[in-house]
Chain A
Amino acid sequence: SQKIEQNSEALNIQEGKTATLTCNYTNYSPAYLQWYRQDPGRGPVFLLLIRENEKEKRKERLKVTFDTTLKQSLFHITASQPADSATYLCALGEDQAGTALIFGKGTTLSVSS
């Protein structure tokens, strides 16, 4: 069966450092991978999408890599701030219209000042 793992349940870093979150998957060949931010008691908010034929995507302080050989995506937040503290979810998707995403459990990031 499909399995998606985010390697840390929690990650604590100091303000200004780079946070790196990992997402691994097995038994699946997604067309794309997405990263979401979720704050307590709120729905997920879309951050970035990277397709299987893309190696890297950037958006402001965010960077995502996608290695389909390793079946792994890395999510980086550079110059982290306390406001970046949240749970980050990775999700796998297919191009077929109307298909749902498969979510990991998430990594809760805490950035201390």
Chain B
Amino acid sequence: GAVVSQHPSRVICKSGTSVKIECRSLDFQATTMFWYRQFPKQSLMLMATSNEGSKATYEQGVEKDKFLINHASLTLSTLTVTSAHPEDSSFYICSAIKGGDNEQFFGPGTRLTVL
């Protein structure tokens, strides 16, 4: 199989705090992981591409100092939303590529609510 997990599944925090979201590939190694954000009734929007052992590549308009990404190992990438504000409230989804065929497997998502 190819299972991707995310933790936590849901988080509520106060404005100004930082939140870390973990994305793990449970039964395979992923050299590349992606972080997406999805607002209600909207498409998944790519935020950044995370490569193990190197700096993440951010999409235009995504602040790298606000959304810190660390791909520490072949099975773990983390997204930290620093100094979160209500407008950061969204559904954050990661995906991981397995093997060389570019097939992506998605995590279950993390619902972030900033009060």
Q: Chain A: residues with CB nearer than 8 A to chain B?
A: 4, 9, 36, 41-46, 49, 89, 93-106
Stretch from B11-19, B68-76, B78-86, B104-112 forming part of the interface with A:
B104-112
A42 partner residues in chain B, CB cutoff 8 A:
108-109
Pick from A4, A43, A44, A105 the residue with the most CB of B within 10 Å: A43
Chain B residues closer than 8 Å to A44, beta-carbon distance: 44, 93, 106
Interface size classification for chain B: 20 to 34
How distant is B96 from chain A, measured CB to nearest CB, in Å? Answer: 11
- Majority secondary structure, B binding face: strand
Chain B positions within 8 Å of A, measured between CB atoms, are: 4, 6, 31-32, 34, 36, 41-46, 49, 51, 91, 93, 95, 97, 100, 102-109, 111
9 A-B pairs closest in CB distance: A43-B106, A103-B44, A105-B43, A98-B32, A103-B43, A43-B109, A100-B46, A43-B108, A44-B106
